[in-house]
Each structure stands twice: as structure tokens, then as C-alpha cells.
């Protein structure tokens, strides 16, 4: 089941990302956090102390729970727009 709204929405062109080596379909211009959520990826890293899964929370760059690596650099998934061939690593941003 897709989590995206189907009607009356304009989107950028379809692009493919690599997320932990797996292809994920998204639309250029949407946030990486939204694309990962729509793809069913909820856990993006583990908390350093307890090792519990962490994922998107605020969606505005304040909580840093969505920290991932994009093309090798640390990035907040909610603050980055997706683009074709983006290479994303989850669980490796510390
Ligand atoms: S979800 Fe809070 S900083 Fe990205």
C-alpha cells in the first residue's frame, strides 16, 4: 500500500535512490525523510546508549533523529531533497 496521496498532487520526476544498497523509488524534490517513510523505512539509526531504533520525529531539522549518511556525508534526512542516484546509508551516521 502506497502512503502517497494519489490524486491532485504535482510531483517532480521519478528517481531511484540507493538506500543501504537497495533501490528505493522517490520523486525529485521531496525530502529524503518523506521518501524513506513512504518506502516503509522507519528506523534510520540507533541511539548511541541504548541501541534503540530512531527515526523521523520533528520533520523540521530540530531533533536530529533522522541522521543518515548521504553520499558519505552526515545529513538530516528531513532537510535534504532527494535526487537521482543519491546514495544513502542508514545506521551509520555517528
Ligand atoms: S526528523 Fe527531526 S531533525 Fe529530521
> 6-62 pLDDT, tens per residue?
888 899 999 999 999 999 999 999 999 999 999 999 999 999 899 999 999 999 999
pLDDT beyond 90 at 3: no
Find the 91 Cα to ligand 1 centroid distance in Å: 15
Rounded to 10 degrees, the C-alpha dihedral 7/19/58/92 comes to 180
The residue segments making up the domain with residue 44 are 14-89
Q: What is the pLDDT of residue 42?
A: 94
Total number of domains constituting the chain: 1
Find the 32 Cα to ligand 1 centroid distance in Å: 11
- Structural domain includes residue 38: yes
Q: What is the pLDDT of residue 67?
A: 96
pLDDT beyond 60 at 94: no
Q: Ligand 1 pocket: which residues have CB below 6 Å? A: 33, 56-59, 61-66, 76-78
Contacts of 3 (CB under 8 A, 6+ apart): 37, 38
- Structural domain includes residue 9: no
- Structural domain includes residue 18: yes
Q: What is the pLDDT of residue 93?
A: 59
The span from the CA of 51 to the CA of 4, in Å, is 30
Amino acid at each position: 500500500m502506497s502512503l502517497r496521496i494519489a490524486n491532485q498532487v504535482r510531483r517532480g520526476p521519478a528517481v531511484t535512490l540507493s538506500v543501504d544498497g537497495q533501490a528505493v523509488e522517490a520523486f525529485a524534490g521531496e525530502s529524503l525523510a518523506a521518501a524513506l517513510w513512504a518506502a516503509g523505512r522507519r528506523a534510520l539509526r540507533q541511539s548511541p546508549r541504548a541501541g534503540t531504533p530512531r527515526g523521523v520525529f520533528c520533520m523540521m531539522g530540530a531533533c536530529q533523529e533522522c541522521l543518515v549518511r548521504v553520499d558519505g556525508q552526515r545529513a538530516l534526512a528531513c532537510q535534504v531533497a532527494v535526487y537521482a542516484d543519491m546514495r544513502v546509508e542508514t545506521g551509520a551516521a555517528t
